[in-house]
């Protein structure tokens, strides 16, 4: 289940975001969280499985698209399809918008697209 970020999730969100390249310092993490808290077009979601928050995905909404800015999964749960599941859930939430990536997220997003195309054939 994808849950919208709220202040009560701040610490767990920062912990998950810290797995992203470029989000290693506390200062940078705080700036990133503040951006998601204050800028309307920045949206952050956490993935909850049973009682645990195991993944996070952050997007920037544009006019006709959303850009996947941040995506990470708790290392104990990687390789189980959680990352691709979050990408799939975003496309269900925003079916009319194009999905874009950043330099940090593009290689995984490409992998997701390839898997999807493989599944369609």
Ligand X SMILES: CC(C)(COP(=O)(O)OP(=O)(O)OC[C@H]1O[C@@H](n2cnc3c(N)ncnc32)[C@H](O)[C@@H]1OP(=O)(O)O)[C@@H](O)C(=O)NCCC(=O)NCCS
Residues forming the site for ligand X (CB under 6 A) = 19-21, 71-73, 78-84, 104-105, 107-108, 111
Longest dimension (CA), the chain: 45
Contact by Cβ (8 Å): 115, 84: yes
Output 38 or 121, the one with its CB closest to ligand X.
121
Question: Minimum CB separation from ligand X for residue 64, in Å?
Answer: 22
State the minimum distance, in angstroms, from the CB of residue 102 to ligand X: 9
Cα–Cα distance measured from residue 8 to residue 73, given in angstroms and rounded to the nearest whole number: 19
**Closest CB to ligand X among residues 50, 63:** 50
Nearest C-alpha neighbor of 56 from the set 12, 25, 94: 12
């Amino acid at each position: 289940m994808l849950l919208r970020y709220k202040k009560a999730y701040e610490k767990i969100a920062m912990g998950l975001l810290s797995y992203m390249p470029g989000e290693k310092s506390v200062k940078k993490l705080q700036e990133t969280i503040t951006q998601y808290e204050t800028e309307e077009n920045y949206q952050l979601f956490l993935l909850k499985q049973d009682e645990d928050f195991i993944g996070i995905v952050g997007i920037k909404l544009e006019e006709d698209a959303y850009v996947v800015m941040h995506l990470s999964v708790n290392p104990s749960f990687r390789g189980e399809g959680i990352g691709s599941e979050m990408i799939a859930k975003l496309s269900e939430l925003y079916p009319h918008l194009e999905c874009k990536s950043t330099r940090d997220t593009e290689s995984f997003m490409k992998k997701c697209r390839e898997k999807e195309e493989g599944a369609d054939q």
